Chain A
Amino acid sequence: MCIQKSSERFEGPGFLIGLLLLRKQSRGAAMPVSLLWAVDVYGRVYSLSTAGQQWEHCRDALMEFKRVTAAQQCCWGIACDNNIYLNVHASDLSIRYQEETYENQRWNPVDGFSDRLLPSDRWQWSDITGLQHQPLDSFRLPSGSWEWEGDWFIDENFEGEPTEKGGWTYSIDFPATYTKDKKWNSCVRRRRWLRYRRYKATDTWAKIPSQQSTLPDPFSDISCGGWELSEEPRGRLSLWAVSLQGKVWFREGIHHHNPEGSLWEEVSLPGEVVQISCGPGDLVWAVLWEGQLIVREGIGRDCPKGSSWVVVDSPSPDVGAIHVAVGMNVVWALTKDNKVWFRRGVNSHNPCGSGWINMVGEMLMISVGLNDQVWGIGCEDRAVYFRQGVTSSELSGKTWRVINVPRDGERSHSSASASSLQSAGCYFCGEVRGQSVASDVESDTEKGSTDGATGLVASDYPESLDAPADQTSDGPKPLIPKVTSDSFISELVSDRDSAKTAPSVLPEEDDVPGDGEVTAPSSGAALPQSQSGGPHDPQWSNVDLEEAQILQVQTGLVPESSDTCSLSSVATYTLAMEDQYGADEHPLWAWVSGGGCSVDTHSQLHWFNCSMNSSSLVQSVQSMSLSVSPAQTAAWRKQILEQLSERSKREMDNFRHYEQAIEQSVWVKKGCMQWWRDWKPHKWIDVQFALEQFTGPEGNKDGILFIYYNFCEEKKYLHAFINEITILVPVLNEAKHTFAVYTPERTKQRWPIRLAAATEQEMHDWLALLSVSCCDSRKIQGPPSKQAVWSITCKGDIFVSEPSPALEAMPYPTPCDQMFWRQVGGHLRVVECNSVGVVWGIGYDHTAWVYSGGYGGGFFQGLASSTDNIYTHTDVKSVYIYENQRWNPVTGYTSRGLPTDRYMWSDASGLHERTKTNTKPPSPQWTWVSDWAIDYGVSGGTDREGWQYAADFPASYHGYKTMKDFVRRRRWARKCKLTTTGPWQEIPPISLSDVTILPCATQSSSGVDVVPLWAISNKGDVLCRLGVTALTPAGTSWLHVGTDQPFKSISIGAASQVWAIAKDGSAFYRGSVSPQSPAGDSWYHIPSPAKQKLKQVSVGRTSVYAVDENGNLWYRQGVAPSYPQGSSWEHISNNVRKVSVGPLDQVWIIADKVQGSHGLSCGTVCHRLAVQPLTPKGQSWDYGIGGGWDHVTVRGNSMEPPRFRLPVLSQSVLQVKDVAVNGNAT
């Protein structure tokens, strides 16, 4: 009975079907790559990966594009049909939108609850407010790019509890508070229906439906940005567009559930705009026809559209501006003479900047991408240039460097070099043919579309022939790609010129209508040829045989096959290129967008050295492979290792009895440091520091650490044996470079030896040396074992400990304070592992990392680090400061506090002053990567300006002002970035907040067994990783497991038990997970402990433990193979921050408020003692390293302890260790 009630099986389609197998991601654990997008003068779209060495032709662009503007997750473009297209990059995590509607019922004595409502009542089907009538069948897919995931189903979940009553919630009347229980006075009830729709048009150019049947005015420029404006998940964008008539439009409603946005809103203007640029933050600049620039003001989190324009004069008094490109903190502009200008002094407080600087180079256009990196298209050669040396301190960069990489398919280019006498008409002929294929495909998906695609079947060219007839001089005119080398921008200009009657802005331009006429007939003439589909005209015969064949086949298949269309275009382009430019091999570019391209000072780009010569390309690939692939695999290396070992045999093995020429002796290293002295008043004092190393009697190395200090004029010293040191921990300290040295004794006291070095380098040298020394004395070398216990400090440093076999022994386990921890490079917030050596980490910036099998990294260099398997590791975190204000009756809230008040700019505690200018990044390794910004994501909520109110400092804050509030504060955040190295490889692109790996209790030796790995994305989606094995720990792709609410914690235990915690604090059990069905089939709702919201769960062999938001640790009672959900939660302990249950059901936690000799410490690694198969809850805690620890995982330790029967004495032994037996960690 009880069991039946405690959980409810949900069978809504969302649960059953919410499993979407998405496109396999072949990249696996590849380096994160991002794309630079470009359009060449023929309108072909290309992308260049930051890891790549060639431009990839975007084959699914079914027509020519004029312009593109990219963000990291998508790329927008204007195609030659003047429609706007969106290409959302495919991801393992689909874009889902939850539609909801409410069914309302009222009780009457005759029918009971029925859909017969009072006339004054709300609609029978309505939105949550009841004001909007929305029956199930009123919901339509917003565009052809969406599809329904399943049918409507009832939401059974009410505030984290199952309703058990068909989802009905009851109330006295509408609108009121609802409860899940029916009471005597419940007169109305309602329930929520859900349905998901999914965006399906990924990795393809999907047309954005125009809201009017015909847009008044085709778009000529487009720019996206604004993703840094708010903390919303990636996907929120500001999209600005310019029409040919010079109007500016803003796309409303683009966010991660709605990548297409909802509608265009016109933005009023002081003039007519020719081009616009929107940065990642709050910068939006545009260029007016008259040559001035306008700057949008008032852009902010609540108002991404901004409020007004300010005019900024052209950089040059004589020559107007023609182009502008903005980033986070930079503005670049071009004048009509192609000169390049950099705007000084631009930031979010002063979006207009202060003055222009003329830069070297002449460009046709410029694009500013992520990290304010800059690309341009050269005026002379139309090559894409990258601005080298742009850093946060030197935003204008150093030099222009040409991106010199081939395009894919250029091999055929060189083979066709003997040709040709093709006319431009031939080129267009091929193109039109390609287009007809394109339009067939298009018309399938977009039925009845009159503009755009179907227009294209007839093609631009006939249309342009007709243009004089049906479009008068002020009507928009489709763009005709020209084969001349004229500027693409000036083509737009010239289009515009022809559309307007205004005098030509660029007098040097050709007469445009004439130009169009020249091109059009030639293409028109070519058209019948292509449509005839007959045998090939002799024009193709100059191409080499293979290509000609392909082309022939292709033309035969034109109507059916869309795949080959790309082939034909490559070939035709080739011809066209040859035709027009002869020996001039490099591509001519029209537009470039770096908005999705992530390059920073640490990026290694291979964009600059490749030449078109294929032999040198091969060489550069070789040289790269030398540095990239582990040299270990090379034969020469193997041979050296073999010969060295032969040499040792030959020269040494028979002569071991010979005397050594050099006797081993003591080696001392000395230095000066500061020491946080043990006695009061505690302060830093100068000390002499020495490490004496020697070789012990059995050849083992050992050493002693000496700290010499003066005490009352007397020289004294403190020492620690190297073999007793358990850990060396870097400590966060603003002013000093400090680290702590622990021994078991000092761990018990919670009082380490604290030392400070003069420089960070010196500290790192010492840490590396001491660490090697400690490892030598314990004979630890190489990478950590598969059983290793991993932990992370609050500073993000990663530590690993080799468990002794007796660590989980009964009755005498190895005391936890004797565990030796060594540091591993990198910076993480979460690390999880299992016993076959699969280790994953999650950074502060939610990046997922997989352990590469190396060791060292970070400041461990040379001997303390492996040479391979060490990679660049980055992390980004925020530094927070608080702005505090007090209310007074005269001026309201001001920054004038009471004399007793905290600093008006402070840290969270209010005890330390933290101003925007004096707050530094956590250590010199960190650099600022953003400006200070108000943080709205504070718990408790904020008002629109980010303020939280309270009666007085310090108190609990709320996000709205009441009469009783006299103080307020708001939090400012600034991001900083760390770049270091470590044995971790990034797993792009999905950001995670939690991860769990099945702890395999039995050692599977094959290395090919699939290891179940589950994760939670930082948006709360549940994911299941496919293809994870001991040999391929990164896996291959994500499987999205549907949920009806965001999740925050997940854990998988033996027998495929998957437990998860939703954001609302309730627990879920995933049913029917098995190797055959790795994602299971449905979620079972598990009620949380009374009045507690759970936050984390960990599942071992049979034990399930959870931690709630108030620091209570709960054990799940009654979990059995036949009933894996268990029956109830039993309280085990308080002051627990995190729990990790291992494959042997061992229980480890991070505990707060652990007593030390000088006070309580927070964040201590603790081990549950006396955990046995029959007593899985254990008895008491053993305290290990800490405080300052954030995370521990013992899920790799499957080493069964040596078993022996415990003598009777054991009880008393345990009690000696017991500080507090009864479920209290203090």
Chain B
Amino acid sequence: MADDKDVLRDVWFGRIPTCFTLNQDEVTEREAEPYYLLLPRVSYLTLVTDKVKKHFLKVMKAEDVGEIWFEYEGTPLKWHYPIGVLFDLHAFNTVLPWSITVHFKNFPDQDLLHCSSNSVVEAHFMSSIKEADALKHKSQVINDMQKKDHKQLWMGLQNDKFDQFWAMNRKLMEYSTEEEGFRYIPFRIYQTMSDRPFIQKQFRPVSPEGKVHTLGILLKEMYPAAIPNEGEQKRYQAVIHGIEPLLETPLQWLSEHLSHPDNFLHICIIPVPTD
């Protein structure tokens, strides 16, 4: 029987086949070939696109090159969301590979954060982990770790080292046997139809009466529309890592197994395709 460890591996090694094409407006010396890459779902765009950048810079003049940014069907892609979240949110139910347009000018300042180097990604990633642990363990676990342990988490993500990352991350996923789970579940619910970036509230894995909270209970509380009423057609899909877990899945288990490396459970609410 498959083990829960396999879930962690599957989550970590999720890849999205992507086709990068250069924006038509970019000035090039010769035609730019599209670039195909398998992007790790759990990583960040700017962290894994060095090769893409190099590829397109070959056909461009240095003076025409501004900060790189990515766009999908007119939507600028926020690099600080995990790649899998961006894909599930914008391109779920579309044909693969995922077609991303690469830009080197007209950086949309109002939509995107600047990302000058990997250290910006690292800072963002680590702050997410710290925020998650504040919710889970009142920051006790992350604060007990040493600097090198933090580094190990980051290096694990950066170098796609599952073992290295999980050797440390397992500590963040532990909870004492006296409790039924984390203090609060770190989660974020994304939707395309709203201006609000995402929903994030304090939510416990178990009710005060000792009832186990499930994904369904969370959604009912946070985004009631995501749950179809009796006899109603399903309008939304709740997607995590490209799959739709059953609503009765316990939240604590989801948090332990389907969280991104930043320790948040990222849930995308997307409309059911209408075809």
Contact = CB atoms under 8 A, between A and B. Distances in A.
B135 interface: no
B97 A662 contact: no
Contacts of A661: 37-40, 43, 48-49, 51
A1215 interface: no
A623 B179 CA distance: 11
Contacts of A765: 167
Residue among A664, A769, A862, A866 with max Cβ neighbours from chain B (10 Å): A862
Interface in B152-205: 152, 155, 158-161, 163-164, 166-167, 169-170, 173-174, 177, 180
Contacts of A769: 167
A655 B7 CA distance: 21
B96 interface: yes
A659 B36 contact: yes
B210 A651 contact: no
Interface stretch (B22-30, B60-68, B100-108, B244-252): B244-252
B14 interface: yes
Interface residues of A, number: 51
Interface stretch (A56-64, A630-638, A1066-1074): A630-638
B96 A651 contact: yes
A693 B5 CA distance: 21
Contacts of B10: 644-645, 647-648
B196 to A, nearest CB: 27
B17 interface: yes
B170 A861 contact: yes
A484 interface: no
A863 B159 contact: no
Given A620-B210, A651-B16, A655-B17, A640 B37 contact: no
A627 B43 CA distance: 31
Interface in A762-813: 765, 768-769, 772-773, 776, 782
Contacts of A635: 246, 248
B163 A641 contact: no
B261 interface: no
Interface string A678-708: 0000000000000001000000000000000
Residue among B167, B177, B212 with max Cβ neighbours from chain A (10 Å): B167
Contacts of B2: 641
B223 interface: no
B242 interface: yes
Interface string B232-269: 00000000011111101110010000100000000000
Given A622-B211, A662-B43, A662-B159, A655 B97 contact: yes
Contact of A867 (B5, B14, B39, B43): B5
A898 interface: no
A658 B7 contact: no
B124 to A, nearest CB: 18
A22 interface: no
A664 B166 contact: no
Nearest to A609: B210
A862 B180 CA distance: 18
B245 A639 contact: yes
Contact of B244 (A631, A643, A863): A643
A619 interface: yes
A640 B245 contact: yes
A645 B13 CA distance: 12
A652 B17 contact: yes
B161 A667 contact: yes
A532 interface: no
Nearest to B45: A661
B244 A867 contact: no
Residue among A619, A626, A655, A659 with max Cβ neighbours from chain B (10 Å): A655
Given A616-B209, A641-B6, A644-B7, A863 B166 contact: yes
Contact of B48 (A620, A626, A662, A782): A662
B160 A626 contact: no
B160 A863 contact: no
A643 B36 contact: no
Residue among B6, B10, B244 with max Cβ neighbours from chain A (10 Å): B10
Contacts of B5: 863, 866-867
A665 interface: yes
A650 interface: yes
Nearest to A617: B210
B94 to A, nearest CB: 12
Given A609-B210, A651-B16, A867-B3, A623 B166 contact: no
A604 interface: yes
Nearest to B161: A667
A626 B250 contact: yes
Contacts, number: 145
A862 B14 contact: no
B86 interface: no
A665 B159 CA distance: 7
A639 B4 CA distance: 13
Contact of B166 (A619, A660, A862): A862
B206 interface: yes
Residue among B158, B212, B244 with max Cβ neighbours from chain A (10 Å): B212
Given A623-B180, A627-B180, A662-B160, A647 B209 contact: no
Contacts of A643: 243-245
A1096 B38 CA distance: 61
Nearest to B49: A661
A336 to B, nearest CB: 38
Contacts of A868: 4
Contact of B211 (A619, A637, A644, A669): A619
Given A623-B180, A662-B48, A650 B96 contact: yes
Contacts of B180: 623, 627
A782 B170 contact: no
A651 to B, nearest CB: 6
A604 B177 CA distance: 9
A776 B163 contact: yes
B51 A659 contact: yes
A650 to B, nearest CB: 7
Contacts of A620: 210
Contacts of B51: 659, 661
B249 A636 contact: yes
Interface string A654-675: 1100111110110101000000
B159 A651 contact: no
A761 to B, nearest CB: 11
Contacts of A604: 177
A855 to B, nearest CB: 9
Nearest to B247: A636
Given A641-B6, A862-B170, A655 B245 contact: no
A669 B148 CA distance: 10
A866 B7 CA distance: 12
A863 B7 contact: no
Chain A to chain B: the 10 pairs with minimum beta-carbon distance, closest first: A862-B170, A655-B17, A643-B243, A661-B48, A636-B249, A662-B160, A636-B246, A644-B10, A658-B38, A867-B4
Interface of A: 604, 609, 616, 619-620, 622-623, 626-627, 631-632, 635-637, 639-641, 643-648, 650-652, 654-655, 658-662, 664-665, 667, 669, 693, 765, 768-769, 772-773, 776, 782, 861-863, 866-868
26 contacts: A604-B177, A619-B210, A623-B180, A623-B212, A632-B4, A636-B248, A639-B246, A640-B243, A640-B246, A643-B244, A644-B243, A647-B10, A647-B14, A651-B14, A651-B16, A651-B17, A651-B242, A655-B38, A660-B38, A660-B160, A665-B159, A667-B159, A669-B164, A772-B167, A862-B170, A863-B167
Interface of B: 1-8, 10-11, 14-17, 36-40, 43, 48-49, 51, 96-97, 152, 155, 158-161, 163-164, 166-167, 169-170, 173-174, 177, 180, 206, 209-212, 241-246, 248-250, 253, 258
Given A655-B36, A772-B167, 19 more contacts: A616-B210, A623-B211, A632-B1, A639-B246, A647-B10, A648-B10, A650-B96, A651-B14, A651-B15, A658-B15, A661-B48, A661-B49, A662-B40, A664-B160, A667-B155, A667-B159, A862-B167, A866-B5, A868-B4
